[in-house]
Amino acid sequence: MTGYAEGFILGFIQGLTEFLPVSSSGHLVLAENLGVGEENVFFNLALHLATLLAVTVAFRKKIFSLLRRPLQADNLFILVASVPTAVLAGAIRYLFPSQTEWLPFCFAITGFVLLLPETVKPLSPPKDNKGLVLRALFCGLCQGAACINGISRSGTTVSAMRLAGFGKEECAEKSFLLSIPIIVGSSAVELLTGGAASVAAGPLVLGAITAFAVGLCAIFLFIKILKKGKLWIFSLYTFLMAIVTFLIL
């Protein structure tokens, strides 16, 4: 990280694309290939923690409710879904450390995934804990696959939950709550495995503040769009990004 402009740009990209279904990792990889920023463990950690704070603030009432009543169904869903996510994400990270050349293809996959709820008949809502666990495992696997650069985590999980029979507003809430363990986990992995490159405090703070503010706005924007049933709009953007990244990379 070399300056305030790059700190702001990367923070804006992270905050906007972490929660909109367009893949934050794909956009950050593309930015790096265009010469904006460079891989830095502490800067990436700051951005991730900033987006984690945005989720915590946006869903603070729900999070407090989950903490007060730990045995409720939503906690079971998050816990079960996080297990296959961690396993699959870890396997992909270990087996395929470099994914840049996949970026155009993965943006296209995101586009198709976003269209699935509009074209495939969903299952009926879960009626008992067994049905909830099976749906949680399915959504967790989908979230794990979305650790690949260019595949949107929020878009994949929301589409999976729509297909699993959950309502639109419930999908958004569950998707963002599911992001908390994965953000914490990925931040821990980056801290433990990344190199300790130096980073200027000013750009880091600016990037984190920008990621938090933009991320908070992106959360409410995504919920509003999802309620209107217009998730497919983002598929047009990701198909365009597939073409752009193919031409650039």
User: Once rounded to an integer, what is the mean pLDDT over residues 238-245?
Assistant: 94
User: Once rounded to an integer, what is the mean pLDDT over residues 164-178?
Assistant: 90
**Residue 193 banded pLDDT, cuts 50, 70, 90:** low
Check pLDDT > 80 for residue 245.
Answer: yes
The number of beta carbons lying within 10 Å of the beta carbon of residue 239 is 17
Q: Tokens 């987006």 — which residue?
A: 51
The CA-atom distances, in angstroms, between 149 and each of 25, 28, 107 are: 5, 9, 8
- The whole model's pTM is what? 0.89
Look at residue 197 in the predicted model and tell me its pLDDT: 58
Residue 36's SS3 state is: coil
Q: What share of the chain is helix, strand, coil (3-state, %, to 5)?
A: 80, 0, 20
Q: pLDDT: is 198 or 117 the higher one?
A: 117
Look at residue 228 in the predicted model and tell me its pLDDT: 86
**Residue 17 banded pLDDT, cuts 50, 70, 90:** very high
**Residue 76 banded pLDDT, cuts 50, 70, 90:** very high
Is the distance from CB of 21 to CB of 114 less than 8 angstroms? yes
Look at residue 132 in the predicted model and tell me its pLDDT: 92
Check pLDDT > 80 for residue 40.
Answer: no
Check pLDDT > 90 for residue 25.
Answer: no
CA distance 128 to 166: 13
> Shortest CA distance to 75 belongs to which of 197, 178, 190, 196?
178
Is the distance from CB of 209 to CB of 50 less than 8 angstroms? yes
CA distance 217 to 234: 17
Check pLDDT > 90 for residue 54.
Answer: yes
Percent residues over pLDDT 90 in the chain? 57
* Segments making up each domain of the chain, as ranges: 4-248
Q: Which two tokens stand for residue 5?
A: 């402009």
Lowest-pLDDT choice from 16-20, 75-79, 104-108, 184-188:
184-188
pLDDT in tens, 195-218: 555 667 888 899 999 999 999 999
Beta carbons within 8 Å of 115's beta carbon, 6+ residues apart: 232, 235
Over the chain, what is the mean pLDDT? 89
Look at residue 194 in the predicted model and tell me its pLDDT: 59
User: Once rounded to an integer, what is the mean pLDDT over residues 218-239?
Assistant: 91
The CA-atom distances, in angstroms, between 14 and each of 7, 26, 47, 57, 90 are: 11, 10, 7, 17, 21
Q: pLDDT: is 249 or 177 the higher one?
A: 177
Lowest-pLDDT choice from 13-22, 37-46, 80-89, 114-123:
37-46
Look at residue 37 in the predicted model and tell me its pLDDT: 67
The type of residue at 231 is: L
